[in-house]
Amino acid sequence: MALPTTIGDRMPSARDVILKHIDAFNGRDSDADPWAADAEITAPGAQVSGRDNVIGFLAVFQEAFPDIRLEIKQLLTDGPAAAAEGTLTGTHNGVLHTPNGDVAPTGRAVELRWAAVYVTDGDTLKSEHLFFDQMDFLGQLGLLPG
Protein backbone atom coordinates (compact mmCIF):
# COMPACT_ATOMS: atom_id res chain seq x y z
CA MET A 1 0.00 0.00 0.00
CA ALA A 2 1.46 3.34 -1.03
CA LEU A 3 1.17 6.07 1.54
CA PRO A 4 0.38 9.65 0.55
CA THR A 5 3.63 11.45 -0.25
CA THR A 6 2.52 15.05 -0.50
CA ILE A 7 0.04 17.25 1.23
CA GLY A 8 -3.28 16.81 -0.51
CA ASP A 9 -2.75 13.16 -1.47
CA ARG A 10 -5.32 10.93 0.14
CA MET A 11 -5.59 7.28 0.90
CA PRO A 12 -7.95 5.45 -1.44
CA SER A 13 -11.34 4.96 0.16
CA ALA A 14 -13.28 1.71 0.15
CA ARG A 15 -15.61 3.43 -2.32
CA ASP A 16 -12.68 4.12 -4.69
CA VAL A 17 -11.50 0.50 -4.48
CA ILE A 18 -14.97 -0.98 -5.11
CA LEU A 19 -15.64 1.33 -8.05
CA LYS A 20 -12.22 0.43 -9.51
CA HIS A 21 -13.12 -3.26 -9.15
CA ILE A 22 -16.49 -2.81 -10.91
CA ASP A 23 -14.86 -0.79 -13.72
CA ALA A 24 -12.12 -3.42 -14.17
CA PHE A 25 -14.68 -6.25 -14.20
CA ASN A 26 -16.89 -4.48 -16.73
CA GLY A 27 -13.84 -3.61 -18.85
CA ARG A 28 -12.43 -7.15 -18.56
CA ASP A 29 -9.17 -5.71 -17.30
CA SER A 30 -7.99 -8.18 -14.66
CA ASP A 31 -4.63 -6.38 -14.40
CA ALA A 32 -6.46 -3.25 -13.19
CA ASP A 33 -8.72 -5.16 -10.79
CA PRO A 34 -7.54 -4.23 -7.27
CA TRP A 35 -7.72 -7.73 -5.72
CA ALA A 36 -5.05 -8.30 -3.07
CA ALA A 37 -2.65 -11.25 -3.42
CA ASP A 38 -4.45 -12.99 -0.53
CA ALA A 39 -7.96 -11.98 -1.63
CA GLU A 40 -10.97 -14.20 -1.12
CA ILE A 41 -14.46 -14.34 -2.55
CA THR A 42 -17.44 -16.24 -1.22
CA ALA A 43 -20.46 -16.69 -3.48
CA PRO A 44 -23.37 -19.13 -3.62
CA GLY A 45 -21.74 -22.54 -4.01
CA ALA A 46 -18.18 -21.22 -4.10
CA GLN A 47 -15.34 -20.04 -1.90
CA VAL A 48 -12.10 -19.05 -3.61
CA SER A 49 -8.82 -17.70 -2.18
CA GLY A 50 -5.87 -15.95 -3.80
CA ARG A 51 -5.89 -13.20 -6.42
CA ASP A 52 -5.37 -15.49 -9.41
CA ASN A 53 -8.13 -17.87 -8.29
CA VAL A 54 -10.55 -15.00 -7.65
CA ILE A 55 -9.82 -13.53 -11.10
CA GLY A 56 -10.33 -17.03 -12.57
CA PHE A 57 -13.66 -17.44 -10.79
CA LEU A 58 -14.92 -14.13 -12.17
CA ALA A 59 -13.63 -15.01 -15.64
CA VAL A 60 -16.01 -18.01 -15.71
CA PHE A 61 -18.93 -15.56 -15.77
CA GLN A 62 -17.21 -13.26 -18.25
CA GLU A 63 -16.74 -16.23 -20.60
CA ALA A 64 -20.32 -17.45 -20.22
CA PHE A 65 -21.77 -13.94 -20.58
CA PRO A 66 -19.51 -12.06 -23.01
CA ASP A 67 -21.55 -8.85 -22.58
CA ILE A 68 -21.82 -9.15 -18.78
CA ARG A 69 -22.09 -5.87 -16.94
CA LEU A 70 -22.37 -4.96 -13.26
CA GLU A 71 -24.16 -1.82 -12.20
CA ILE A 72 -24.16 -0.51 -8.66
CA LYS A 73 -27.48 0.86 -7.46
CA GLN A 74 -26.29 1.66 -3.92
CA LEU A 75 -22.85 1.65 -2.27
CA LEU A 76 -22.38 2.16 1.46
CA THR A 77 -18.99 2.42 3.12
CA ASP A 78 -17.65 2.53 6.65
CA GLY A 79 -13.87 2.77 6.87
CA PRO A 80 -12.38 -0.21 4.98
CA ALA A 81 -15.75 -1.99 4.75
CA ALA A 82 -18.40 -1.58 2.08
CA ALA A 83 -21.74 -3.02 1.07
CA ALA A 84 -23.27 -2.71 -2.36
CA GLU A 85 -26.34 -3.75 -4.24
CA GLY A 86 -26.86 -3.70 -7.93
CA THR A 87 -27.79 -5.53 -11.09
CA LEU A 88 -25.95 -7.92 -13.34
CA THR A 89 -26.99 -8.04 -16.98
CA GLY A 90 -25.72 -10.24 -19.77
CA THR A 91 -26.53 -12.76 -22.46
CA HIS A 92 -25.60 -16.41 -22.01
CA ASN A 93 -23.66 -16.85 -25.26
CA GLY A 94 -20.70 -18.82 -23.86
CA VAL A 95 -20.22 -22.04 -21.93
CA LEU A 96 -20.92 -21.69 -18.20
CA HIS A 97 -18.53 -23.93 -16.25
CA THR A 98 -20.10 -25.12 -12.99
CA PRO A 99 -19.14 -27.68 -10.34
CA ASN A 100 -21.95 -29.86 -11.73
CA GLY A 101 -20.74 -29.70 -15.31
CA ASP A 102 -20.77 -27.31 -18.23
CA VAL A 103 -23.93 -25.49 -19.32
CA ALA A 104 -24.10 -24.88 -23.06
CA PRO A 105 -25.04 -21.37 -24.19
CA THR A 106 -28.79 -20.75 -24.03
CA GLY A 107 -28.76 -17.36 -25.78
CA ARG A 108 -30.96 -16.02 -22.99
CA ALA A 109 -30.57 -12.59 -21.48
CA VAL A 110 -30.39 -12.34 -17.71
CA GLU A 111 -30.90 -9.47 -15.31
CA LEU A 112 -30.12 -10.37 -11.71
CA ARG A 113 -30.13 -8.41 -8.52
CA TRP A 114 -27.03 -8.93 -6.36
CA ALA A 115 -25.59 -7.69 -3.09
CA ALA A 116 -22.04 -7.88 -1.77
CA VAL A 117 -20.11 -7.09 1.37
CA TYR A 118 -16.49 -6.04 0.84
CA VAL A 119 -13.37 -5.48 2.91
CA THR A 120 -10.59 -3.32 1.53
CA ASP A 121 -7.04 -2.62 2.68
CA GLY A 122 -5.64 0.65 1.36
CA ASP A 123 -5.87 0.39 -2.42
CA THR A 124 -6.65 -3.35 -2.53
CA LEU A 125 -9.77 -5.46 -2.28
CA LYS A 126 -9.31 -8.17 0.37
CA SER A 127 -12.68 -9.93 0.31
CA GLU A 128 -16.09 -10.05 -1.27
CA HIS A 129 -19.08 -11.97 -0.01
CA LEU A 130 -21.52 -12.07 -2.92
CA PHE A 131 -25.22 -12.87 -2.69
CA PHE A 132 -27.70 -13.50 -5.52
CA ASP A 133 -30.81 -15.62 -6.05
CA GLN A 134 -29.64 -18.84 -7.69
CA MET A 135 -33.19 -19.96 -8.52
CA ASP A 136 -33.87 -16.68 -10.31
CA PHE A 137 -30.59 -17.10 -12.21
CA LEU A 138 -31.39 -20.68 -13.26
CA GLY A 139 -34.95 -19.73 -14.15
CA GLN A 140 -33.82 -16.89 -16.40
CA LEU A 141 -31.49 -19.33 -18.17
CA GLY A 142 -34.41 -21.74 -18.69
CA LEU A 143 -32.70 -24.44 -16.63
CA LEU A 144 -35.51 -25.13 -14.15
CA PRO A 145 -38.12 -27.80 -14.82
CA GLY A 146 -41.29 -26.24 -16.20
Q: Average pLDDT per run of 10 along the chain, which is 146 residues long? A: 54 94 98 98 96 98 98 98 98 95 97 98 98 97 91
Q: Is 114 a member of any domain?
A: yes
pLDDT value for 11:
78
Q: How many domains does the chain have?
A: 1
pLDDT value for 7:
53
Can you give the CATH number for the domain in which 111 is found?
3.10.450.50
pLDDT value for 146:
76
119, β-bridge pairs? 81, 127
pTM value is: 0.90
pLDDT value for 9:
63
Residue 132: strand, helix, or coil? strand
Q: Is 2 a member of any domain?
A: no
Q: How far is CA 95 from CA 61, 62, 142, in A?
A: 9, 10, 15
Q: Is 145 a member of any domain?
A: no
Q: Is 6 a member of any domain?
A: no
Structural domain range at position 88:
14-140
